[in-house]
A and B are shown apart, each in its own frame.
Chain A
Amino acid sequence: MAKTLWPKSSSARVDSSLSAHSIMGLVISAILFVVCLSGTVAVFEDELEWWEQANVAPVESVSPAVLQSTAEEVLRRDPETTHLYLYPPRENWPRFIAGGDNGIYAVDENGTFVSPLEANWNEFLVHLHYYLNLPESFGMIIVAIFGVMLVSMAISGLLAHPRIFRDAFRFKRQGQPRLAQADLHNRLSVWTTPFIVAVAGTGAMIGLFTIGALVFAQTNFGGDTRKLSEAIFGGEVIEADDTPAPIVGIDLAVEQLAKDAPGQPPFLVVMHEPGQKSQHIEFYVDETDRLIYGETYTYSTEGELLAIGHNADGPAGQQIAMSMYRVHFGDFGGVAMKLIYFILGLMLCVIIAGGLNIYFLKRREKGRAAPRLEALWSGWVWGSTLFLPVTLIGAILGLSIGWLVAIYWIGSAVCSLAACVLTSAAMAGNVLRLALGAALMLCALIHAAVVGGDWSNPYILLSSVSLFVTGAAFAAWPFLRGGFRPVVAGKDLSFTPGE
């Protein structure tokens, strides 16, 4: 085998790295798994949001006049709002969404408000990933700390891996099961390290921004967090003046933008302080070869260009900060890139689940088997996965977000505890996988029956078909792998309650 390029490490250092990796893994894996799983599914949040309200027809384009009239209608419905948001359709996303601080609507190409945007499951999923369903300011920090811990796990994992290059392509399927599990865990981890560090790091940066801003403002900006925030994201373009004024100028500004940034239609229009004298219009334009969220152009209601954000060509720090969102969610190459991120996210979930599997197999080898803990873990992994489609079914049937949160957490905990008390890890995994498959297929069927939808719309059709096919695969999995008996020849690893 090749000589390793990795710095030589003493066995003591490898041991302590491995010990640090194990301790951290044991403490964070259960919640980290939920954060990663929900994030993986949330890659398709836009598509799933539309799927939940499948009866809203695609909108290919809207005129500047329709944007203007839509803004007027939003302000009429939500007069207290401080911002108006318009998401016009773009090349690979034929939807028109508009709203204010207190409500978002799906709108058709003539500016008629079709329905309020009500995608309860999508909202639950995003809330689960961003905040773990905790109060928002607290939850986001907790989730972000899990991001830091994931980076820490990557560091201790690499330090504990002295033969990283020698083992680069090694995968031992035969022989000791723990080594096969370790190979799966290590190979996936090493080859996806850039992805893991990127999503964990960007997640941590997004979630800990308030903490960082608070500390840096204290140490460097005389306690003024606004000054720090403005250094990165820019400040107010116009001084606030709340004198009432008619809402005008979006159509004019759109036409002016077409001249200032030709061939770059906006994907987001934000009107600041609508209905006030200081109202102004900010456009986000997609820079298709950059990772930044978008370049911003700000106009007055008379169509005068007031400011360009310079997110694409400003200071490196500003460009990096503005790239966090797309890097975190894989939103930089259409559905294809989202699919790649989705699979990489699933791999991360396998890494986390496999990490604890290695721990349990090691315990068995040392004569300290913990079958109940194994079953508890297996029940948690598959239970928390199962209850995503279960809550989706609940949302399709009209359950509110509060119910979805309760069902998800209680259901996952019950699966885990039931597995611990009633059965083995292997059996729990098989039963819950079968249930997961059934739930995914039911999602597609119940959705077709209850919501219906336009099947000529590829986004709706593909979402339903994907759910059904994935469900069928999961349902068939235990049978393809030998049914409900643990598959390895000769030894039944199930244990009976009370054993």
Chain B
Amino acid sequence: MTGTGLLLAVSATLLGLAGLALLFKVWRKPGQPVLLASGWALLAVSLLLWFVANHDRGVAQVTSLLMLLVAGAITLPGFLGTNGLQSPVRERPAPALAPVSALGRAQRVASGIWTFLIAGPIAGLIAFFTAGGLLRLIRPETGNPATAVVSAFIAALVLWALLSTLLLMEKRPLRRSAYAIGGSFFALAVAFIG
């Protein structure tokens, strides 16, 4: 980094810290929209200056640094003061649970395995084949397809993560299964027919 770059980087870090301090101030005493906007603006300017100083590496550097400083500042005092599983907890009396039959237990295990398969491999299959279909749409007819391929790849991973979450959020097992199976057919159709 050049001397100017270094100066920019230091100023940008200070601006970022000032932005975070403003956000903290607004959090402590709400109802100050100007300060709130200024806090976010300073953070944005900080990232922009780091980009000027050291391009995308600079943005990654300052983001990592600010994350560490804030997460450390907020949690370190608390971290030293919490006791994890050593903590005493006011325990309520255990509720009486209905006995579960062997068949019921086996059904629960099977349901758990099916849920795992849906949220893991099946969601992955839907995500990758849907992204394959997306790639057919965005791939340029001529020229380098690298950007289209990488975009489809990123879309596949985000979609997989999102689908896993959404399928696990669905509490009714039948509906969850129907979504997953329907989604698989849709993805395969999009990938190979569409």
A residues within 8 Å of B by Cβ? Answer: 1-3, 13, 16-17, 19-20, 23-24, 27, 145, 148-149, 151-152, 154-156, 159, 168-169, 171-173, 176-178, 180-181, 183-184, 187-188, 191-192, 194-195, 201, 204-205, 208-209, 211-212, 215-216, 218-220, 228, 231-232, 288-291, 314-318, 320-321, 323, 327, 330, 332-333, 337, 340-341, 343-344, 347, 350, 353-354, 357, 360-361, 364-369, 374, 377-378, 425-426, 429, 486-488, 490-491, 493
A393–B24 alpha-carbon span in the complex (Å): 46
For residue B74, CB closer than 8 A to chain A, the reply is yes
Let me know if A314 and B146 touch, CB within 8 A.
yes
Closest 3 CB pairs of A and B: A177-B87, A317-B150, A219-B132
Residues of B within 8 A of A155 (CB): 161-162, 165
Q: A23-B115, A205-B153, A340-B68 provided; 18 other pairs, C-beta below 8 A?
A: A1-B30, A154-B161, A172-B78, A176-B89, A178-B87, A181-B82, A187-B71, A195-B64, A201-B154, A215-B156, A218-B191, A220-B132, A315-B147, A353-B84, A366-B94, A377-B85, A488-B88, A490-B88
Let me know if B55 and A357 touch, CB within 8 A.
no
A493–B85 alpha-carbon span in the complex (Å): 9
Instruction: List 6 A–B pairs whose Cβ atoms lie within 8 Å, in order of A's numbering.
Output: A195-B64, A216-B132, A317-B147, A340-B65, A366-B95, A488-B83
Q: Is the interface of A mostly helix, strand, loop or mixed?
A: helix
* Minimal beta-carbon separation of A350 from chain B (angstroms): 7
A195–B88 alpha-carbon span in the complex (Å): 33
A270–B93 alpha-carbon span in the complex (Å): 68
For B36, B67, B154, the residue with the greatest tally of chain A CB atoms inside 10 Å of its CB is B67
Let me know if A289 and B75 touch, CB within 8 A.
no
Residues of A within 8 A of B77 (CB): 171, 173
Let me know if B67 and A191 touch, CB within 8 A.
yes
Let me know if A333 and B158 touch, CB within 8 A.
no
* Minimal beta-carbon separation of B160 from chain A (angstroms): 5
Let me know if A365 and B136 touch, CB within 8 A.
no
A16–B91 alpha-carbon span in the complex (Å): 25
Let me know if A357 and B84 touch, CB within 8 A.
yes
Let me know if B162 and A168 touch, CB within 8 A.
no
Let me know if B24 and A20 touch, CB within 8 A.
no
A374–B87 alpha-carbon span in the complex (Å): 12
For residue B108, CB closer than 8 A to chain A, the reply is no
Using A151-B161, A155-B161, A184-B75 as known contacts, say yes or no to A361 and B23 having CB atoms under 8 A apart: no
Q: Is the interface of B mostly helix, strand, loop or mixed?
A: helix
Let me know if B158 and A151 touch, CB within 8 A.
yes
List B138-164 residues whose CB lies under 8 Å from chain A: 139, 144-154, 156-158, 160-162, 164
**Which residue of the partner chain, among A180, A192, A220, A486, contacts B67 with CB atoms under 8 Å?**
A192
A183–B71 alpha-carbon span in the complex (Å): 12
A183–B75 alpha-carbon span in the complex (Å): 9
Residues of B within 8 A of A321 (CB): 146, 150
**Which residue of the partner chain, among A290, A318, A323, A378, contacts B85 with CB atoms under 8 Å?**
A378
Let me know if B86 and A487 touch, CB within 8 A.
yes
Residues of B within 8 A of A173 (CB): 77-78, 81-82
* Minimal beta-carbon separation of B93 from chain A (angstroms): 5
List B119-150 residues whose CB lies under 8 Å from chain A: 119-120, 124, 128-129, 131-133, 135-136, 139, 144-150
For residue B61, CB closer than 8 A to chain A, the reply is yes
A458–B65 alpha-carbon span in the complex (Å): 24
* Minimal beta-carbon separation of B24 from chain A (angstroms): 6
For residue B60, CB closer than 8 A to chain A, the reply is yes
Residues of A within 8 A of B162 (CB): 152, 155
For residue B90, CB closer than 8 A to chain A, the reply is yes
For residue B105, CB closer than 8 A to chain A, the reply is no
* Minimal beta-carbon separation of B152 from chain A (angstroms): 6
**Which residue of the partner chain, among B1, B61, B164, contacts A24 with CB atoms under 8 Å?**
B164
A327–B56 alpha-carbon span in the complex (Å): 11
* Minimal beta-carbon separation of B33 from chain A (angstroms): 10
* Minimal beta-carbon separation of A338 from chain B (angstroms): 10
Residues of B within 8 A of A231 (CB): 144-146, 149
